[in-house]
Each structure stands twice: as C-alpha cells, then as structure tokens.
Amino acid sequence: MKARGALALVLLAVLALVVASTPGLAADSLPSWNDGAAKTSIVEFVSKVTREDSPDFVPVAERIATFDNDGTLWVEQPIYAQFAFAFDRVKALAPQHPEWQNEEPFASLLKGDFKSAFAGGETAVVKIMMSTHAGMTTEEFEQIVTDWIASAKHPKTGRLYTEMVYQPMIEVLEYLRANGFKTYVVTGGGIEFMRPWAERVYGIPPEQIVGSSIKTKYELRDGKPVLVRLPEIEFIDDGPGKPAGINSHIGRRPIAAFGNSDGDLEMLQWTTAGSGARLALIVHHTDAAREWSYDRASYIGRLDKALGEAQAKGWTVVDMKRDWKVIFPFEEE
C-alpha cells in the first residue's frame, strides 16, 4: 500500500497547488480594492486568459502587461519626481556652474521661481534635464539616483518617493506575476532614472523597464570601458512613443496595459487593438482628500482625450476614491 499512499499524498499536493493558483479560489489577491466593476474587470480578465479551457487562453510567454509609472504606480503631483530630482541636482551642481546665476532657466530655478524658470517651455525643460542627466558615466548616474531616491522626500507628505506608490497597483503587479504575466514599466520618464529602484519597489527588473533615454557613448578610460551619458535625446517614450518603445524593447503586443493620462492613450489603443481578451485600465485621480483630484484641466498628468476614449470603448476606469481602500502602503501601518 506504500505506493498508493504516496500517490494519494502527491495528488493532495497537486490539488493544493491547483486550488492556490486558481484566481477565484485563492485568498483575495487584491485586498486593497473595494468590490466593484474595476476589481471585477481585472479578476475576470486574468481568469479568462489563464484558464486552459477558456477560449481566450493566452500562453505564459505572451502574457505581457505594461504599466505607466507617474500617476499610475506612484504619485506625480505636485510635480514629477524626476523633475524634483533634476531641481535638486541643479542646486547640488550650482557651485560648479557660477554662470547659472545669470543664465535661464537656472537663475530662476535657483531662486525658487518655477514660473519664470519654465517660461521657456520645452527648451527650458530640456536644458535642465541635459545639464543634470548627462555628462557622467551610466554607473555614476546610477549612484546619483540611488543616493537621491534613498533620501529625497515628497514635498506634501514628507515621505520617501518610494513610499508614495499605490498599494492597490502593487497588488495588481503581484497578482499578474502570480498568474504568469511578465510585468513591464513603460514610462515617459527616464529609463535610467527608474532602473536603480524599480526592482526593489515594484518587483520589476531593469530589463523590464522601457522609458525615455539619452544617447550614450562607449569609451575606454584608463583602459576601463565606460558608457558616457550624452546631452542628446535618444528616445521620448511618451504618447505615440509608447507603442514604439514597447515594440523596440518587448517585440510583442501587451495583452494588458495600465495608465492614467493622455500620454498613455496610444499604449492603450495599441494594446486593445490585438485579438483576443484585452485589458485597458485607467487610474482616475478622484481623491482630493487622500491623494489628488485632477483630470482634463491638469498640467501634470492631463487625462482628457483618453478618458473620453475609455468611456466610449468600455475600458476600465478606476475611481481612486471609490475603488481603493487604501492609496499608499503606509496607510496600512
């Protein structure tokens, strides 16, 4: 009877694994989500593409999910974290650049006069970004970002930026990965700005970050190879750039995409234009008390055209105030 006893045990173990990996039967994988249409649409989509008997079944290798970062995975108000980083770098570098005292946008920025600093529009932004993001090796830049992210505080809450992530979205990332998905960040922000911390904070490794980039140049310095960051834009991973970035880095069309602004519209269009079951989800910032409330009129993270298209096409729109029990992980403390 030994063999039959062993068989029974093995079968029990297999059954336990099946139960644990079946979405409907498992303990709630999205505990920070209130029951409602948004949560249901996520769970039903995952069930549809992972059940082997489903007409919408998708093999593991093709389970690609892409997430915008600013405003989708973490806070983007009152300014993008990467802008705060750039401003801190301008301050840190100012002693080496006495000419900045009389040169815009630096002069205004150093006086804390953001309005004048950005009167120059995109040119001003590019000047600030290039002066703070280029001129060092990739390893040096990684260290600068690592040091900054470990200490810089969000101006409203005084929390680390990496604490200002959305707990319900962290649960979606984990839930998808538990169901065989490969999760990617597809951000308008800098690819090298995210890589040093995205694995620790989101569980997303460097090779699964797609983002904007500047050119690099290979050099030997004292016989040691380095990549030097050049003050030249290589790729802007925003709006129509997102499908191009996805194509370049992933080479497969996602079956699920998550965004929060018009900069994500083309990624959502591209994702939903594939055949079979698709999930397009927009995080709508509706909670002025716990986070921010903004959409069509906002300068940061404007959600206008994509909100209209979401409504017309039946995409999932998350109402942060109504759908999320908590916004940030620290609320659970």
Q: Which residues of this chain interact with a second copy, rule CB under 8 A?
A: 1-3, 5-6, 9-10, 61, 138, 182, 191-192, 195, 205-207, 209, 213, 215-218, 220, 224-225, 227, 234, 240-241, 243-244, 247-252, 266, 269-270, 273
What type of residue is 126? V
Nearer to a second copy, 20 or 273 (CB): 273
What is the smallest separation between the CB atom of 238 and a second copy, expressed in angstroms? 11
C-alpha to C-alpha distance for 93 and 313, rounded to whole angstroms: 48
C-alpha to C-alpha distance for 32 and 169, rounded to whole angstroms: 9
What is the smallest separation between the CB atom of 227 and a second copy, expressed in angstroms? 6
What is the smallest separation between the CB atom of 14 and a second copy, expressed in angstroms? 13
What is the smallest separation between the CB atom of 273 and a second copy, expressed in angstroms? 5
Nearer to a second copy, 5 or 121 (CB): 5
Nearer to a second copy, 6 or 19 (CB): 6
Nearer to a second copy, 77 or 216 (CB): 216
Give yes or no for a contact between 195 and 139, defined as CB atoms under 8 angstroms apart: no
Nearer to a second copy, 168 or 254 (CB): 254
Tokens for 10, please give them.
């093995």
What is the smallest separation between the CB atom of 203 and a second copy, expressed in angstroms? 11
C-alpha to C-alpha distance for 116 and 124, rounded to whole angstroms: 10
What is the smallest separation between the CB atom of 266 and a second copy, expressed in angstroms? 6
Nearest CA to 185 out of 281, 279, 249 is that of: 249
- Give the three-class secondary structure for 226: strand
**Phi and psi torsions of 247, nearest 5°:** -65, -40
Nearer to a second copy, 102 or 275 (CB): 275
What type of residue is 302? R
Token pair 């960040």 is found at 185
C-alpha to C-alpha distance for 216 and 177, rounded to whole angstroms: 32
Nearer to a second copy, 1 or 297 (CB): 1
C-alpha to C-alpha distance for 44 and 175, rounded to whole angstroms: 12
What is the smallest separation between the CB atom of 269 and a second copy, expressed in angstroms? 5
Token pair 């108000």 is found at 77
What is the smallest separation between the CB atom of 28 and a second copy, expressed in angstroms? 29
Nearer to a second copy, 10 or 37 (CB): 10
C-alpha to C-alpha distance for 323 and 317, rounded to whole angstroms: 10
Give yes or no for a contact between 45 and 256, defined as CB atoms under 8 angstroms apart: yes
Give yes or no for a contact between 208 and 183, defined as CB atoms under 8 angstroms apart: yes
Segments in 134-240 forming alpha helices (H):
138-149, 167-178, 191-202
